[in-house]
Structure 1
Amino acid sequence: METAFALTGKGYVLLAADTTAVHSIIKVKTDVDKIKELSPCLLMAYSGEPGDTVQFAEYIERNIRLYHIRNNFPLRPPSAASWIRRSLADSLRSRKPYSVNLLLGGYDTSTYMPHLYWMDYFGTLAEVPFAAHGYGSYFTLSLLDKYHDPEATVEEGIATLKRCIDEVSKRLVVSPARFKVKIVDKDGVREIEL
């Protein structure tokens, strides 16, 4: 019953993901961080098969760091999204495809613009103002559609995120206990306590 959602605002991207690790009907852990920091201004929230998600997230993180080391500058969000999409699409055509859904949020320091990308395990990529994955998306997408404002301040974005978390907690049969929320903006990546 994984849930991840994200939204953009005026100069930032907020990502939220539940912290529960499950196997079938068994809750294994409740303190998993499903949002990976890929670079100083790039975050990735992931969901899917447990082994695939961790392995794919670490593969992406290390290759983006390698690119930074080799070229002395980090990948911008649009370039990182294209490369990650290509990696997912290539794995789909292999014998062992990754079953991973992603939300990629980043802040482009050259254009001073936030970017949010929605990706599924088929390698589909879309740049969106807000997005969600998992069972919680059935409840959060309508809220994000109603309350999302591209010019919202960070406080207004957090209020919208709290609405989404409250709705998932109230309406989802097996609701996650906790959510981890991270923001990326001109100051980089940081975690927000709700």
Structure 2
Amino acid sequence: MESLFGIVGKDFVAVASDMSSIRSIVVMKEHEDRTRNLNKHNVLLYTGEPGDSVQFAEYIQKNIQLYGIRHDVELSTAGCASFTRRALADSLRSRGAYSTNLLIAGWDPKDGPRLYWIDYISSSLQVPFACQGYGSYFCYSTMDRYYRPDLSKDEAVALIKKCISELKTRFVANLPNWQIKIIDKDGITQTILKAE
């Protein structure tokens, strides 16, 4: 029942993930963190089978941090996406394939804001906006209608709120808590949003 959103603005990327852990007809948790900070300017968001998703996200997080320590340089957003896509592709060719869908968002001094959409079969695309999970069935049309490349941070958060409102109206599950992260030249800032 998870939903992830990402929007590239003029000089930032805004991402959001719901915080509910739902299995069948039971709400297990309402404060699940589906994000991992890869370094100072990059964030990984994940959805899918709980064990696979968390284990894969932690594996990617630790290896990207290890790369930064060994080489004394932060991987770019494109580098993080490439490493992640390759790790997912390698797992597909083994007996332990991970069933997880991902968004990687970040800001680079050279390239500016970037957002990558990666699915469980290791397809990877750089996109201006993206959804993963059940929210994509309802929110791609909203993003397509209201997205502009020059969105301000407030406008991007307002667009995320429109998507959450659409889910509240049309989706069968109640997703009351959302985590929003904004990634820009200053790093990563986080907000918790309660749906009204």
TM-score range, shorter chain: over 0.9
**Which string of whole-angstrom CA distances, capped at 9 and with x for unpartnered residues, describes residues 55-98 of structure 1?**
01110000000000000011001111111000001001100100
- TM-score, structure 1 length as denominator? 0.97
- In structure 2, the residue matched to 1:127 is 126
Aligned-partner Cα distance in 1 for 2:110–2:66: 20
- In structure 2, the residue matched to 1:7 is 7
Q: CA RMSD in A?
A: 0.9
- In structure 1, the residue matched to 2:92 is 92
Asked if the contact 2:177–2:192 (Cα under 8 Å) also holds between the matched residues in 1, the reply is no
Count of equivalent residues: 193
Aligned-partner Cα distance in 1 for 2:71–2:94: 29
- In structure 2, the residue matched to 1:176 is 175
The one-letter amino acid paired with 1:56 is F
Instruction: Give the C-alpha shift of residue 164 in structure 1.
Output: 0.6
**Which string of whole-angstrom CA distances, capped at 9 and with x for unpartnered residues, describes residues 131-189 of structure 1?**
00111111110000011111111111111111011111111011312111111001101
The one-letter amino acid paired with 2:105 is G
Superposition map of 1:132-143 within 5 A:
132-143=131-142
The gaps in structure 1 that reach 5 residues or longer are none
Three-state SS of the structure 1 residue aligned to 2:175 is: coil
Aligned-partner Cα distance in 2 for 1:157–1:86: 30
Aligned-partner Cα distance in 1 for 2:191–2:120: 28
Aligned-partner Cα distance in 1 for 2:167–2:76: 32
Q: Percent identity?
A: 45
The one-letter amino acid paired with 1:74 is E
The one-letter amino acid paired with 2:65 is R
Superposition map of 1:1-194 within 5 A:
1-111=1-111, 113-194=112-193
Three-state SS of the structure 2 residue aligned to 1:161 is: helix
Asked if the contact 2:42–2:183 (Cα under 8 Å) also holds between the matched residues in 1, the reply is yes
Three-state SS of the structure 1 residue aligned to 2:113 is: strand
The gaps in structure 2 that reach 5 residues or longer are none
Superposition misfits of 4+ residues, deviation over 3 angstroms: none
Three-state SS of the structure 2 residue aligned to 1:84 is: helix
- TM-score, structure 2 length as denominator? 0.96
Three-state SS of the structure 2 residue aligned to 1:126 is: strand
Instruction: Give the C-alpha shift of residue 193 in structure 1.
Output: 4.0
